[in-house]
Amino acid sequence: AQSVTQLGSHVSVSEGALVLLRCNYSSSVPPYLFWYVQYPNQGLQLLLKYTSAATLVKGINGFEAEFKKSETSFHLTKPSAHMSDAAEYFCAVSGQNQGGKLIFGQGTELSVKP
Amino acid sequence: NAGVTQTPKFQVLKTGQSMTLQCAQDMNHNSMYWYRQDPGMGLRLIYYSASEGTTDKGEVPNGYNVSRLNKREFSLRLESAAPSQTSVYFCASRPPGTVSGNTIYFGEGSWLTVV
């Protein structure tokens, strides 16, 4: 069975500081991994995805994530936080032949302090 | 380009009432999904439909029914609403093909409160 764990339900950073949101997964098959962002009262927007190509994946809004198979991790980073990055972030996993169904982590709320 | 459209956006129900959440996508996607989002639990799959005419249970199907009316539309019905079904509901769809790495696109969500 697949699962996703996001470490830290709330993360607070100062504007301009590094953003690091942690995601670990478990999967018995090579996974596809996703990060979605949700702004207040809105739907989910794809930030980036890993689909077995390059292990370092670049997404929108300056975010990137690195797939580390040995650590079963897919942490999300951004070098310099902006106030507009304040949102909830979800890591999700999908396996091959799973019909595209996503298993989500519990989410991490990112706050950015001025 | 509307993408995935859900209605209604907000709804308050009394315990025991029934209602249907409507979802339509205009991207010619085969697969459609219904998720619910609860604080601290992420999104959990209620039902999904791999193609027109097929539906399957997800992680939390109890208390819900679905209908894949045609390729565009996938509705979620609560037959007898319970307070535990207070949640935010998201419809989603995925492009055709067998690659699970295809991106899933989400609607804007439906906020449901059962009192």
3-state secondary structure chain A: CCEEEEECCEEEEECCCCEEEEEEEECCCCEEEEEEEECCCCCEEEEEEECCCCCEEECHHHCEEEEEHHHCEEEEEECCCCHHHCEEEEEEEEECCCCCCCEECCCEEEEEEC
Is the CB of B27 inside 8 Å of chain A's CB atoms? no
- DSSP per-residue letters across B60-99: --TTEEEE--SSSB-EEEESS--GGG-EEEEEEEE-SSS-
Q: Identify the band that residue A110 occupies on the pLDDT scale cut at 50, 70 and 90.
A: very high
pLDDT exceeds cutoff 70 at A89: yes
| Per-residue pLDDT tens over the stretch A44-88 | 999 999 887 788 999 999 999 999 988 999 999 999 999 999 999
pLDDT, greater one: A98 or A69:
A69
Closest CA to A82 of A28, A33, A13: A13
Chain A, residues 77-96, CB within 8 A of chain B, namely: 90, 92, 94-96
Closest Cα in chain A, distance from residue B56 (Å): 11
Is the CB of A101 inside 8 Å of chain B's CB atoms? yes
Name every chain A residue with its beta carbon within 8 A of the beta carbon of B94.
100
Closest Cα in chain B, distance from residue A79 (Å): 25
Is the CB of B89 inside 8 Å of chain A's CB atoms? no
Q: What share of chain A in percent tops pLDDT 70?
A: 96
Closest Cα in chain A, distance from residue B15 (Å): 24
Contact B31 A99 (CB under 8 A): yes
Name every chain B residue with its beta carbon within 8 A of the beta carbon of A36.
106
Contact A104 B42 (CB under 8 A): yes
Closest CA to B74 of B101, B88, B98, B94: B94
Is the CB of A51 inside 8 Å of chain B's CB atoms? yes
CA atoms of A16 and A35, how far apart (whole Å) = 21
| pLDDT of the residue at A13 | 97
What is the DSSP-derived secondary structure letter of residue B12? E
Q: Would you tell me how many other CB atoms lie within 10 Å of the CB of residue B98?
A: 9
What is the DSSP-derived secondary structure letter of residue B59? S
Partnered with residue B45 across adjacent β-strands are: B35
Q: Identify the band that residue B100 occupies on the pLDDT scale cut at 50, 70 and 90.
A: very low
| pLDDT of the residue at B96 | 75
Q: Which two tokens stand for residue A73?
A: 């991790």
pLDDT exceeds cutoff 60 at B99: no
Residue type, B25: Q
Contact B106 A43 (CB under 8 A): yes
| pLDDT of the residue at A55 | 87
| Per-residue pLDDT tens over the stretch B61-94 | 999 999 998 999 999 999 999 999 999 999 999 9
